[in-house]
Amino acid sequence: MDSTVFSASMSGVGAHFLYFAMASIAVVVFVVIYIAVTPYREFALIRQGNSAAATSLGGAILGYTLPLARAVAQSEGILDMLIWSSVALVAQLIAFGVTRLILPQLSGDVNEGKLAPAIFLAAVSIAIGMLNSAAMTL
């Protein structure tokens, strides 16, 4: 590899770490907000072996990170990425709210470890994330 190519490749490493760090922080912020909004305590339930809690939270995280990844890839800068990550966060909160309207017993079902409603919530979360990601245009 010639030194020019190596230098060009290395020049992007700093930006990579910055975007990766900011996106990682955005995921943590999303999880903190999401679990604050949900009426059940996902991590406590997951520690107890509740697959429904793990499924629903995992789907929400995937549904959030799909558009976040798109925002990282196409943003004009960190602020632009953070704006789009906020849009993705709001979309996931709306998806959760709508799913609770469709399945009013969702919270109790997840607490009881019922997988069917959790899988449905995860699927809705991922679907919204995919649509949100596809809708992000320059």
The pLDDT of residue 138 is: 58
Q: Is 40 left (phi over 0), alpha (psi -120 to 50) or beta?
A: beta
pLDDT digits (tens, 9 = 90+) for 95-128: 999 999 999 999 999 999 999 999 999 999 999 9
Model pTM score: 0.90
Residue 69 tokens read as 């990844």
Residue environment code for 82-117, b if the CB has 16+ CB neighbours within 10 A, otherwise e: bebbebbbebbbebbeebbeebeebeebbbebbbeb
The pLDDT of residue 35 is: 96
The pLDDT of residue 137 is: 76
The pLDDT of residue 15 is: 87
pLDDT digits (tens, 9 = 90+) for 49-99: 999 999 999 999 999 999 999 999 998 899 999 999 999 999 999 999 999
**135 against 5, higher pLDDT:** 135
Please say if the pLDDT value at position 14 is more than 60: yes
* Average pLDDT score over the chain: 93
Mean pLDDT of 22-26: 97
The pLDDT of residue 13 is: 87
Q: How confident is the model at residue 10 (pLDDT cuts 50, 70, 90)?
A: confident
